[in-house]
Structure 1
């Protein structure tokens, strides 16, 4: 972590100030669905056998300071990233080269690719694709620079189950509410102002993206009413985050939504002779719906595919005429290997997919150096860096996985690699650590407040609807817009930032000029 560039913040609170702030955070969060189901480690199954309890989501008591220039930079490239990843997902031959490097050493990617090949052999029937993406960044300060300047560097790009859009809008609103009721000390008035607290529009914008896809699906040929399916995990602690999107789809756009788990896909849906996906709700078995869109909030981790039935369920959805968010190819486009191929210094691939030089240059500025661990020249150099304890301290090792808890950091890298056959090293990428400036905040989680050093990660959502062309690599972008932001904050002693994975908290930005 770099030295601090921020003002001294947050202030210490006396007992009465702390009591007032905490009481309002607890009450407002539950009243507005800024909540999660409690973890079993905090509330046991014996205490909550029905799984009905809810608790305040891990949140920061204060909005975290974030450089305005960096915030604006991250939001400004959202549409370019949408363009980039929709182009990658539409270029099967390019993706094939990436995937074929990994299928022998990454069983999960191999199985995903098999699903694609099976549908390709039968013939795809739905050219429309929806991406609800999230590009994650951290503020980086190069300590070796004589005049260090804050910039944003991309941590990763998420193409499947880009979560916390629902809670992001709520925590942004909560911090604005706390300001309005004087919950923050007078000493913060020069920093925390309505003009420095940007609203997160992630709920209405992500819902708009789904509604646009739903409308683009067209009139159902079956004569049945249409619906959107949320494919979810069971159990799902983060249910309220998803519910905010469901409720917005229904109340704002009049779109019916239903929740479905992998375990129920084959039982509750069928693919008819015209490949339409038909859903029969278990609570109303006499009713049937034609599914316009399947929105994946599950299916991103190998552990979710417990056997053949789950893979059959993924194939069942993929071969149907429902629009997928994401399709298999869009899912694969979000692997860390693709990020590495784009971000390796002097890579020619970015300009291939984003031919506009100005837009490509803006995206390039957000890349942190990333290297393969294969046998190429760049890979051999990366292997030297990763196996040397002195140089490994500047890097993070990442697999092709989403969901948090999968990375290996700094000095732990050399010993970890010793546990793997060298033939498996190419399944990982080596990324230069992003060094954020030091700052502090107060995190409220599981009924306790913890104050100390924190690290913030900014996620910018994007919505993109495109139609794949008949020729590989061709596509028509129908909708492309930035869709709000998420700030996640973790204790500076934790390398991982995934809130659902148990390491971080949801937050909002307080913009400062640095």
Structure 2
């Protein structure tokens, strides 16, 4: 990547006074513009009143990113939206994969049980909403640079609010601070900083669903309900989406996932009704439920939490995502799409020329199939199929495992097992449960450097960037008709090149933006 920037960008800023001045400018701008998070306990032990905020971890400079890769990732997003809407509609396909996993994964089994309960009594809402994010890294193969998909997120695709603000921060610095740096080569660099409307784009998807729901039959005012985790540190990211919606005169309320049963009820026709905790005379009919919680086992500490998810799923509200859409985001789905249907144990997994995948079941157009396939990397099952047996050999070999990451069916950072930790973890679980994981070849990005401002401290060194492209999709799960399908901005997360995980909220990565090269 240094060859793409001439080796002069980003600047090192050796002078400590200059570096500290730039960091202070970032701190102030970030708080003034809501590029912020609640402080972690390691920084502030007691923030019980929620009165403190700090700048989100962020890079001092936007990171260079190949223009061709950025354009490809954006161009393919609406096709990815269509793909995952189609998968969400295919109960038979999802059921087959759940059956492979559920015996070793109670969380997936419980999600499926919620769907089964609602299906038995009959769904009353045909419309489904997806606020998606497809994550990529640039893979370097000799002189060739190409995007390869890390994962596809169908629930709680975060940082759309903060990402838009990060792009604005770096544009502000490019106009006000970078030109005055002592490093004259860097100061004279004309950065190509693309527009990023991720907050507006995601809010527009929620607004499309809100409008499609229509007026309340019972005469209640309608609203959008954000389901959130208690003690959410990433609250400002979510607030930016709320504020965008409220600009369109859409009532928006936040409800902790743990309080669903206390604050909502179901009418005889299964409308979801929300009573304001501050004014019990105010009752809203919920048009759209947006889950920023409920994506992991920790959100379901008891049966009451599963009853709460069931209440949401069985209601007439448009749910983002439904259980089926959430299950479509399983890593197992990504693996099946990338793995050839007819492959021997010696065949490469991602050989799209000779081995068609399940992709054609959902995307009939050959040119769209090929465009998607180009973004896939080698992904293996860990079952007893020929591909799975190959993967088991790779995962348990002390040398070969160094090229892979093993993933469970989870969202959020901190769940994966990398390289030499894979064989050790497999030894701790019964072999019959191995099939609940996938094995993915590690993507090899080109080397980059940057400086990260995290918790008030500057960290300089090699970094790895991960690009997320947002998309919004509203579809009719009965007819399959797609009513809304849009690109919705981007996210760039950056981490130190010695870190395996990239989650910002989990404390691994930081916010960044793209400088096209």
Find the aligned partners of 2:136 and 2:234 in 1 and give their Cα distance: 22
SS of the equivalent of 2:458 reads: strand
Q: Would you say the 8 A contact 2:26–2:169 is kept in 1?
A: yes
SS of the equivalent of 1:475 reads: coil
Equivalent residue number for residue 101 of structure 1:
100
Find the aligned partners of 1:164 and 1:468 in 2 and give their Cα distance: 27
Measured after TM superposition, the shift of residue 62 of structure 1 is 0.4
Q: Would you say the 8 A contact 1:386–1:392 is kept in 2?
A: yes
Find the aligned partners of 2:89 and 2:419 in 1 and give their Cα distance: 35
SS of the equivalent of 1:316 reads: helix
Q: CA RMSD in A?
A: 1.3
**Which residue of 497, 501, 513 corresponds with 2:502?**
497
Find the aligned partners of 1:178 and 1:343 in 2 and give their Cα distance: 41
CA spacing shift, 1:347–1:412, aligned 2, 3 Å: farther
Find the aligned partners of 1:452 and 1:236 in 2 and give their Cα distance: 30
Unaligned runs of at least 5 residues, structure 2:
340-348, 350-354
**Which residue of 159, 166, 173 corresponds with 2:161?**
166
Measured after TM superposition, the shift of residue 197 of structure 1 is 0.4
What CA deviation, in whole Å up to 9, does each residue of 1:224-249 have, x standing for no partner? 00000000000100000000000000
Equivalent residue number for residue 23 of structure 2:
22
Equivalent residue number for residue 416 of structure 1:
425
What CA deviation, in whole Å up to 9, does each residue of 1:370-409 have, x standing for no partner? 0000001110011011111111111100000001101111
Find the aligned partners of 1:24 and 1:5 in 2 and give their Cα distance: 28
Q: Would you say the 8 A contact 1:277–1:320 is kept in 2?
A: yes
CA spacing shift, 1:312–1:347, aligned 2, 3 Å: farther
SS of the equivalent of 1:169 reads: helix
Unaligned runs of at least 5 residues, structure 1:
none
Q: Would you say the 8 A contact 1:250–1:257 is kept in 2?
A: yes
Measured after TM superposition, the shift of residue 50 of structure 1 is 1.5
What CA deviation, in whole Å up to 9, does each residue of 1:247-302 have, x standing for no partner? 00001x11010000122101111000000000001011110000000000000010
Equivalent residue number for residue 486 of structure 1:
491
Measured after TM superposition, the shift of residue 89 of structure 1 is 0.1
Measured after TM superposition, the shift of residue 52 of structure 1 is 1.7
Query: So what's the TM-score if we normalise by structure 2?
Result: 0.95
| 1:511 and 2:511 matched | no
**Which residue of 378, 389, 395 corresponds with 1:380?**
389
Find the aligned partners of 2:224 and 2:190 in 1 and give their Cα distance: 39
Map of 1:217-366 to 2, 5 A cutoff? 217-251=213-247, 253-344=248-339, 345=349, 346-366=355-375
Equivalent residue number for residue 345 of structure 2:
none
What CA deviation, in whole Å up to 9, does each residue of 1:441-474 have, x standing for no partner? 00001000111000000000000000112xxxx4
Measured after TM superposition, the shift of residue 19 of structure 1 is 3.1
Find the aligned partners of 1:63 and 1:303 in 2 and give their Cα distance: 34
| 1:187 and 2:185 matched | yes
CA spacing shift, 1:348–1:15, aligned 2, 3 Å: closer
Find the aligned partners of 1:7 and 1:282 in 2 and give their Cα distance: 58
CA spacing shift, 1:464–1:233, aligned 2, 3 Å: same
Measured after TM superposition, the shift of residue 3 of structure 1 is 9.0
Map of 1:467-478 to 2, 5 A cutoff? 467-469=476-478, 474-478=479-483
Q: Would you say the 8 A contact 2:178–2:187 is kept in 1?
A: no
Q: Would you say the 8 A contact 1:5–1:437 is kept in 2?
A: no
Q: Would you say the 8 A contact 1:192–1:510 is kept in 2?
A: no
CA spacing shift, 1:490–1:315, aligned 2, 3 Å: same
Q: How many pairs align?
A: 498
What CA deviation, in whole Å up to 9, does each residue of 1:8-50 have, x standing for no partner? 23212223422331121011000000000000111102xx331
CA spacing shift, 1:465–1:509, aligned 2, 3 Å: same
Measured after TM superposition, the shift of residue 191 of structure 1 is 4.2
Equivalent residue number for residue 68 of structure 1:
67
Q: Would you say the 8 A contact 2:22–2:177 is kept in 1?
A: no
**Which residue of 196, 199, 202 corresponds with 1:203?**
199
What CA deviation, in whole Å up to 9, does each residue of 1:336-359 have, x standing for no partner? 000000011335311110111111
Find the aligned partners of 1:440 and 1:356 in 2 and give their Cα distance: 40
Measured after TM superposition, the shift of residue 303 of structure 1 is 1.0
Equivalent residue number for residue 471 of structure 2:
462
Find the aligned partners of 1:320 and 1:365 in 2 and give their Cα distance: 39
Q: Would you say the 8 A contact 1:138–1:153 is kept in 2?
A: yes
